[in-house]
Amino acid sequence: MNRLKVLLTVLLVLGVLVPAVGLMAQDDVTTDVPVIGDQDSAALDVVQAYLAERDRAYMATDVTMYDRSFDDPVAVDDMQTGESTDMVFFDGAFTDVSIAPTRYIVTGNTVVVEYTFSGANTEPYDDLSPSGTVISFPVVDIYEVQDNVITMVRRYYDSAELRRQMGYMDDGSGMVAPEDRTTTSPDDQAANGEAVLAVDDITDDPSVYIGQQVMVEGSIGDMVGAHSFYLWDQDLIDLDQEYVIVVSASEDGLAEFYPVEETTARVVGTVREYLIADINAELDYNLDENAFADIDAVAVIVADSAQNEDTVQTIPQVESDPNAFYGRTVTLEGRVGELVDENTFVFYEDQLIGVAGRILATGTDVPNYQGLDEDERVRITGVVQPHDPAFVQSEYAMDVDAAAWADYDELPVLVTTSVTQID
């Protein structure tokens, strides 16, 4: 499922579950802005004051802030007070900043804010030279407040749209400024696979692209068997999000590509009508037509190549920060370690000397693990869960040897849906 779709779902769920104390008009900059939940919340007061003044004083000294367009959190030293406060907002790349909230959702110490961010691009943003343009785009922030200060911020927005408003585009080799863009028409670029299309470019008018080689960027969704996956559009405010199905052109799969759910991928391939029987006829392997029976797609991309635009998860990442992955579907590569029980083995990533990371892999909907050789390299797709044998046994209706698992109680668990041998 697309990360933005998940976020919008969270917002809607919060809107339903939080007691509807009222959609209240607030004072100051929040006049006429609806509040779902506790309009008298002290946490809400802190967040409203921060957005109005953008003063670092409203943040804890050890505040953690995640801009979800980047891998690493914003450094505390970059969250300055005074005139440099807007450093927190997009690296201080914009002046004449305006923040216009459109809705608050409050539950306990958590405040979700939807707002429109506007400003003039007068400083570099993510190593891109300032263009001087005035930008305006929607943002969603999630704030955690403790003891009347903000302790954590998670920020979501469409970074591709921000760059487009700055005047930049990606030509496949990197971001290109307006003055350096090709003069080839967009239609010719699309036909030659040179332009980077969005998923909804194709879904809005698939007949234009059928039979054409294209380059498409989108958000990875669920796998459909071992050789195909959903590719969603990435519009921030689009409740009717659209998708195409990506199918590997070869049974060997897509080299050096990891279909990690909710991350961004760029795919190069040929657009085909959604007729699985016809697609099977041109492949050197057979797709399971039953797996596609309930999918209502308008087009398929038969992919010659794909690349991960985001840093993908690895076994050491999951082991070191499992809370960030619980409940998420991931695809990981590693080696088969010792058997723990008939459905479970240690899944590890090696390095030049020793082991880089370990987790447990378990599941009944995959080939018998007894048939896998120790140290064999495999690619596994599954859902990351806490090390809780009772929960796994109940949730997935499988037998778990809790006593055997106890020797690995520090390791998170990957409940697998597919295992592919890659050696």
Instruction: Give the model confidence (pLDDT) of 145-166 as tens digits.
Output: 999 999 999 888 888 778 877 8
Q: Between 113 and 32, name the one with better pLDDT.
A: 113
What's the chain's average pLDDT? 78
Domain-embedded: residue 386: yes
Domain-embedded: residue 176: no
Among residues 155, 258, 218, which one has the least CA distance to residue 1?
218
CATH code of the domain containing 275: 2.40.50.140
351: which residues sit within 8 A by CB, 6+ positions away?
A: none
Q: Provide Rg for the chain, Cα atoms.
A: 24
Name the strand (E) or helix (H) holding 330.
strand 329-341
Both 404 and 330 in one domain: the answer is: yes
Both 149 and 90 in one domain: the answer is: yes
Both 134 and 197 in one domain: the answer is: no
Residue 153 CA: distances (Å) to CA of 3, 111, 141, 200, 274 = 17, 10, 7, 30, 41
Domain-embedded: residue 174: no
What is the total count of domains within the chain?
3
Under a CB-based contact definition with an 8 Å cutoff, are residues 48 and 26 in contact? yes
Query: Where does a domain end: 281, 308, 335?
Result: 308
- Extract long-range pairs of 43-47: CB within 8 Å, 24+ residues apart: 43/106, 43/108, 43/109, 43/110, 43/111, 43/143, 43/145, 44/104, 44/106, 44/111, 46/143, 46/145, 46/148, 46/149, 46/150, 47/104, 47/111, 47/113, 47/143, 47/145, 47/150
Q: How far is CA 202 from the centre of its chain?
A: 21
Under a CB-based contact definition with an 8 Å cutoff, are residues 422 and 379 in contact? yes
- Give the Cα separation of 151 and 246 in Å (integer): 40
Residue 187 has pLDDT above 50, yes or no: no
Q: Which residue has the tokens 């804010």?
A: 113
Domain-embedded: residue 287: yes
CATH code of the domain containing 148: 3.10.450.50
Domain-embedded: residue 175: no
pLDDT reported for residue 135: 84
Both 28 and 124 in one domain: the answer is: yes
Both 271 and 190 in one domain: the answer is: yes
Both 42 and 190 in one domain: the answer is: no
Identity (one letter) of the amino acid at 130? P
Query: Where does a domain end: 308, 339, 358?
Result: 308
Both 49 and 150 in one domain: the answer is: yes
Residue 116 has pLDDT above 80, yes or no: yes
Ranking 264-273, 343-352, 403-412 by mean pLDDT, the lowest is 343-352
Q: Would you report the helix, strand and coil content of the chain in percent, each value rounded to 5?
A: 25, 40, 35
Residue 380 has pLDDT above 90, yes or no: no
Both 231 and 333 in one domain: the answer is: no
Residue 208 has pLDDT above 70, yes or no: yes
Domain-embedded: residue 177: no
Instruction: Give the model confidence (pLDDT) of 46-77 as tens digits.
Output: 999 998 888 888 888 888 888 877 766 766 65
Please provide residue 319's backbone torsions phi and psi, each rounded to the nearest 5 degrees.
-65, -40
Domain-embedded: residue 334: yes
Range of the structural domain that residue 51 is part of: 3-166
Both 219 and 135 in one domain: the answer is: no
103: which residues sit within 8 A by CB, 6+ positions away?
A: 33, 34, 35, 36, 113, 114
Query: Where does a domain end: 308, 324, 346?
Result: 308
Half-sphere exposure at residue 176, Cβ-oriented, CA atoms within 13 angstroms: 13
Sign, Cα dihedral of 43, 49, 54, 57: negative
Q: Between 370 and 259, name the one with better pLDDT.
A: 259
Residue 180 has pLDDT above 70, yes or no: no
Sign, Cα dihedral of 13, 18, 20, 25: negative
Identity (one letter) of the amino acid at 41? S
Both 382 and 234 in one domain: the answer is: no
CATH code of the domain containing 366: 2.40.50.200
Domain-embedded: residue 405: yes
Residue 364 CA: distances (Å) to CA of 15, 275, 301, 333, 398 = 37, 31, 31, 19, 7
Both 304 and 200 in one domain: the answer is: yes
370: which residues sit within 8 A by CB, 6+ positions away?
A: 339, 342
pLDDT reported for residue 353: 53
Both 319 and 406 in one domain: the answer is: yes
pLDDT band at 368 (very low <50, low <70, confident <90, very high): low
